[in-house]
Amino acid sequence: MTCRSARKLIPLAAGGDLSEGKAGKVAAHLKACAACRAELDAFRTALDRARGLDGAAGHSWNDAAWAKAVRRAVAQGSEPAAAKPRLVLRPAVIAAAGAVLIGVAALLLVLTRNSLRPREVLEARTEGAKTEVPAATEHKPEPSPGTADQKIVKRDLKKKTESPLLAAGRIKPSPAPIDRALTGAAAPVAPSPTQDIVSATFVSQETGLKVVWFFDRNFNWKGEGK
Amino acid sequence: MNEQETTLVEMVLAGNSDAFEPLVRPYRNDLIRLAYRMTGDWEDANEASQEALLRAYRYLARFDTARSFKNWLLGILVNEARKSFRKNPRSISLAETAEPSTPADQERRHEEGVLRGRLRACLDGLSRGQREVFILRDLEDRNIRETARILGASELSVRVHLSRARKKIKDLMTRGAAPGKETTS
């Protein structure tokens, strides 16, 4: 053992608080190191002095004070514990916790509604896009969408717009028009000054067949594409 | 915990409040001395000890009879002394003894006074953990395990605090004893 490691243990060794193994190592080092022995003696002397200055050792609880303290403990200890000051804050804490919970619930509700909404992608179509609408293709879907072997996994709303947000697909349209289109409802779409063409895309999960239907602003079927 | 204590605890819990006094009587002086060492003031010590007795009586049902009643009681006292010290922080003293000094002891008393002042300052400089461990282990002469139980700490933590506390105490006492370096505080 080096002096450095011994010095770390000497404070505990001075009070006999080392484990047997460490105490043995320290003792072996002390036999050969006078400086560490002096250090140990200095610790022991300091502890003895500190104990000698402890004036509390000679004091005791007098009989009258003791009897009074015990009587008080028995009398007051039998009573129910007094309400702690922090209980006064309880309504405020509850109100704060309630506000936090309401906020979290509202946030969860918004997130849940967003996640349940059908995935709709809004794409901007220019006037030229109208001309790109293909004619009927060889893969014609069933006349009524949503048959047993086809499941709609994606629906697109394609709009003609000048808005850069719409072009970037960051604004989602209401699903109501698409729902009507899928169910064959005849109700016209509320006219929008910026929307001329609406498309719905159907993808079969089994075959991967993808069909796009195009509608005008009154939801009249205009054609389909792949 | 011995059988007598177990019996007394059961009697108190059964509603016999007279059994409480003989239950805590063996620790009467331990309570007041430890409270004084921790608070540094007899009035605060008295208050903390009374509060510890009250809580011991009130919460006796929570006491685990497999453990030491003495350590449980002193643990309550330590908590009360901490509260008292927080409410009324003051310099911890190791007590000026009440006995008047004789003229023959004046020189020794003077030296002790200087050392006591340094020790008081040193205890103030210790962290709460170091101070509590030093008081329990070196002044109350409790072993490491008892100290850990009373403080609700691990034995390793007690050793670490004890080692650091002893280093500080030793440095201060050594400087105080060195000629030419003494200063009254």
Encode chain A (226 residues) as per-residue pLDDT tens digits: 788 888 899 999 998 888 888 889 999 999 989 999 999 998 998 888 888 777 666 677 788 888 888 888 888 877 655 555 555 567 777 888 888 999 999 888 888 776 655 544 444 444 444 444 444 444 444 444 444 444 444 444 444 444 444 444 444 454 444 454 455 445 555 555 667 888 888 888 888 888 888 888 788 888 887 6
Q: What mean pLDDT value characterizes chain B?
A: 80
In a domain, B94, yes or no: no
Which residues are CB-neighbours of A185 under 8 A, at least 6 positions away? A179
Q: What is the pTM of this model?
A: 0.56
- Tens-place pLDDT, residues B167-178: 988 887 777 554
CB contact under 8 A, B138 and A53: no
In a domain, B102, yes or no: no
pLDDT digits (tens, 9 = 90+) for B100-140: 455 666 676 676 666 666 666 777 778 889 999 999 998 88
pLDDT of residue A12: 93
Q: Are B44 and B119 members of one domain?
A: no
Burial of A60 (0-12, 13-18, 19+ CB in 10 A): middle
Residue B123 confidence (pLDDT)? 78
- B115 in the same domain as B70: no
| Residue B76 domain boundaries | 3-87
Q: Please tell me whether residues B49 and B116 are part of one structural domain.
A: no
Nearest to B170 by CA among A8, A43, A41, A54: A43
Whether B82 and B7 map to the same domain: the answer is yes
Tell which residue, A143, A57, A35, A43, has the closest CA to residue B163. Answer: A43
In a domain? residue B184: no
State which of B87, B119, B136 marks the end of a domain: B87
Q: Chain B contacts of A65, Cβ < 8 Å?
A: 46
d(CA B89, nearest CA chain A) in Å: 19
Size of interface A-B (CB pairs under 8 A): 119
Same-domain check for residues B7 and B81: yes
Q: Give the domain-ending residue among B87, B118, B137.
A: B87
Is pLDDT at B152 greater than 50 in this prediction?
yes
Contacts of B17 in chain A (CB under 8 A): 74, 78
Residues B82 and B120 in one domain: no
What is the per-residue pLDDT for A29?
92
**In this structure, what CATH number is given to the domain that contains residue B156?**
1.10.10.10
Say whether residue B82 is in contact with chain A using an 8 A CB cutoff: no
Q: Quick check: A65 and B166 CB within 8 A?
A: no
Nearest CA-CA partner of B169 in A11, A79, A154: A11
Domain boundary among B29, B52, B87: B87
B112 and B173 share one domain: yes
B73 shares its domain with B111: no
pLDDT at position B159 is: 93
Is residue B96 domain-resident?
no
Q: With beta carbons less than 8 A apart as the criterion, state whether B43 and A60 touch.
A: no
Supply the pLDDT for residue B30: 87
Helix (H) or strand (E) holding A215: strand A210-215
A127-135 CB contacts, 8 Å cutoff, 24+ apart: A127/A160, A129/A158, A129/A160, A129/A197, A130/A160, A130/A196, A130/A197, A133/A197, A133/A214, A133/A222, A133/A223, A133/A225, A134/A223, A134/A224, A134/A225, A134/A226, A135/A223
Nearest to B158 by CA among A15, A138, A153: A15
More confident residue, A150 or B158: B158
Residue at B183 is within a domain: no
In a domain, B185, yes or no: no
Q: Are residues B44 and B113 in the same domain?
A: no
The pLDDT of residue B82: 85
Q: What distance in Å separates residue A28's CA from the closest CA in chain B?
A: 20
Tell me the C-alpha distance between A15 and A12, whole Å.
Answer: 6
Put simply, whether A78 touches B (Cβ < 8 Å) is yes
Output A225 or B55, whichever has higher pLDDT. B55
Q: Is the ipTM of this complex over 0.95?
A: no
Please tell me the least confidently modeled range out of A158-162, B71-75, B146-150: A158-162
- Residues B115, B81: one domain? no
Q: Is the same domain home to B81 and B141?
A: no
Q: How many domains does chain B have?
A: 2
Indicate whether B21 belongs to any domain: yes
pLDDT given for residue B161 in this prediction? 94
- The reported pLDDT for the residue numbered B183 is 38
Give the percent of chain B with pLDDT over 70.
75
Q: Which residues pair with A212 in a beta bridge?
A: A201, A225
Collapsing DSSP to helix, strand or coil, B102 comes out as coil
Tell me, yes or no, whether B52 lies in a domain.
Answer: yes
CB pair distance less than 8 Å for B163 and A43: no
Whether B1 has a pLDDT exceeding 80, the answer reads no
Phi-psi region of B152 (alpha: psi -120 to 50; beta: other; left: phi over 0): left
